[in-house]
Amino acid sequence: MPDHPEKRTVKVCIIGAGPAGLLLARLLEQCGIASVVLERRSREHVEKRVRAGLLEWSTVEAFRAAGVAHRLDRHGMVHDGMELRHDGAAFRLAFSELTGVPMVVYGQQEIVKDLIGARLESQGEIHFGVTDVRICQVGVDGSLVQCTLDGIPVEISCEFLAGCDGHHGVSRAAIPAQRRSSHQWAYPFAWLGVLAKAPPLSPELIYAVTDRGFALQSMRSPDVSRLYLQVPPNEPIHLRSDEEIWHELDLRLTGGTGKLPTGTITERVLVGLRAHVEEHMQYRTLFLLGDAAHIVPPSAAKGLNMAVADARLLAEGLDHWYRSGRRDLLDGYQSHSLRRAWHGQEFSEFMTSLLHVSPGESAAQRRMRRARLDLLRRSSTAATAFAEQYVGLSRP
C-alpha cells in the first residue's frame, strides 16, 4: 500500500457479499445508513455458488420486508411437511399443522442474485474482486480498512465494520487473540451433494436414514432435484460415477425400487460436516455476522437462516444508534446472537446424530437412534418440539 492511499469515509463498511453482508447492506439502505460492500470474489462467482436453500418463514419475511422477495414469492417452493424414512418405514412430519408455519425451498444463490440486483438498482456501493481487504485498525470510535478498488489503493475510514466474510475471511482475526475464544468440532462424515435435471421424487423433503448412511431429497424447481448422500469425509468428489450416485440414492431413498427419477447431474459438491462458534462476535466497532461467527453442519439447513437473523439484529442496532444515539441494542448484539447460535447449533447437532450412521457405531447406539426416530412418529409432543425447532420458531 503506498504512503498516500485515497481516503474515503463511510458509516458502515461491510466485508463479504454473501447473504449476511448483502442483506445488512439492504436493510441499512432502507434506514438511510450509507455502507460499502467489499467482496473478494467476482459477481459471477458469488451468484453461481450453489449452497443450501431451505428458508424458515421468518427468513422469507425478512426478504419481503427488505423488498427483495419478488422472485422468491414466485419461485419459492412452499411446503408443509417433511418425510422421515427409516427401517423400511416412512412417516410425514406435518410441521405446518404442528406449528402454523410452512418452510420454503429457494436456492441461496438466487437470494444472492436478488440482493445484488437490488443493491445495484439502488446504486448502493458494492465492489467485487477486492482481493486485498486489510483491517488496519479497530477502534472504539471507528475502524480503518485498506484495499484496492478499481486499481486505486484506498483507505476506508468507517464508523462500524461488519465482518460478513464467512469462515475463511479476515474479520475474525481482527479481534485480538486474547479477546477471542471459540469452539469447533468436526463430524466423521461428509455430504456429497448433487444438483440434477430430474423432477423431485416428492414435493416435500425426504430425510432417509439407512444402515448404508443418510440420504436427503430436496429440490430447486419442479424439474430440478437437489440430493445429498452421506459419504466418508475424505472421499474424492469424483470417486463415484453418476450412475453409482443414482444407484446409491435410489437404494437409500426408495429401498432400491428404481422409483427415484434420474437425470443429468449438473453440479457436485462435497460438504464437510463441522461446527464452529466464535464466543466474541463484537469488539469495539467490529461485529461478526453469519458464517464468520458460527457455522453449523448442514443437516438442518440453519446456516443461511442464522446469517439472516444476524443481519436483521445488527441493522436494528445500528438504526437505533443513528436515530437515538443509544448503544443498548448494539451492545446486546453479541449476547442475543450467540444465544441464538447455540440453539441453532444444538438442533443441528441433534439432526446430525439422528440422521447419520457414524463409523464404528455400536449396535446399542444404532438402536437408540432408531428409538429417537420412532419417538417422533409416536409422540405428538416430541414431533411438535422437533417441528418448532425445524421451522425455527423456538430459536431466540
Contact 15, 38 (CB under 8 A): yes
169 binding partner (options ligand PHB, ligand APR, none; Cβ < 5 to 8 Å by kind)? ligand APR
CA separation for the pair 275, 350 (Å, rounded): 13
List Cβ<8 Å contacts ≥24 apart for 367-372: 369/209, 370/86, 370/87
Smallest gap from Cβ 351 to ligand PHB, in A, equals 7
| Residue from the set 81, 124, 298, 303 that interacts with ligand PHB by CB under 6 A | 298
Residues within the interface to ligand APR (CB under 6 A)? 15-21, 38-41, 46, 51-52, 108, 130, 133, 164-166, 168-170, 290-291, 303-304, 307
Catalogue the active-site residues: 79, 207, 298, 302, 390
Closer residue to ligand APR in complex, CB, 290/317: 290
Report d(CA 13, CA 158) in Å as an integer: 6
* Residue 213, contacted partner among ligand PHB, ligand APR, none, CB below 5-8 A by kind: none
Q: Which is nearer to ligand APR, 47 or 242 (CB)?
A: 47
Residue 166 near residue 290 (C-beta atoms within 8 A): yes
x/- track of binding to ligand PHB for residues 91-130 (CB under 6 A) = --------------x-------------------------
Q: Which is nearer to ligand APR, 129 or 233 (CB)?
A: 129
DSSP string, 306-347: HHHHHHHHHHHHHHHHHHH---HHHHTHHHHHHHHHHHHHHH
For residue 295, the 8-state DSSP code is E
> Residue 200 binds what, of ligand APR, ligand PHB, none (CB under 5 to 8 Å, by partner type)?
none
Residues in 218-237 at the binding interface with ligand PHB, rule: CB under 6 A: 218, 226
Going along 81-151, which residue ranges are E strands? 82-86, 89-93, 103-105, 125-127, 134-138, 143-149
Beta carbon nearer to ligand PHB, 311 or 354: 354
Quick check: 303 binds ligand PHB (CB under 6 A)? no
- Residues 216, 210 contacting (CB under 8 angstroms): no
Task: Tell me which H or E stretch contains 244.
Answer: helix 242-254
Q: Which is nearer to ligand APR, 246 or 287 (CB)?
A: 287
- Comparing CA positions, the residue from 230, 256, 173, 220 lying closest to residue 353 is 230
Identify residues 43-102 at the interface with ligand PHB (CB under 6 A). 52-54
Does residue 169 interact with ligand PHB by CB under 6 A?
no
Q: What is the rounded distance in angstroms from the CA atom of residue 118 to the CA atom of residue 113?
A: 9
Q: Which does 16 bind (CB under 5 to 8 A by kind): ligand APR, ligand PHB, none?
A: ligand APR
Judged by the rule CB under 6 A, the positions of this chain that interact with ligand PHB are 52-54, 105, 205, 216, 218, 226, 298-301
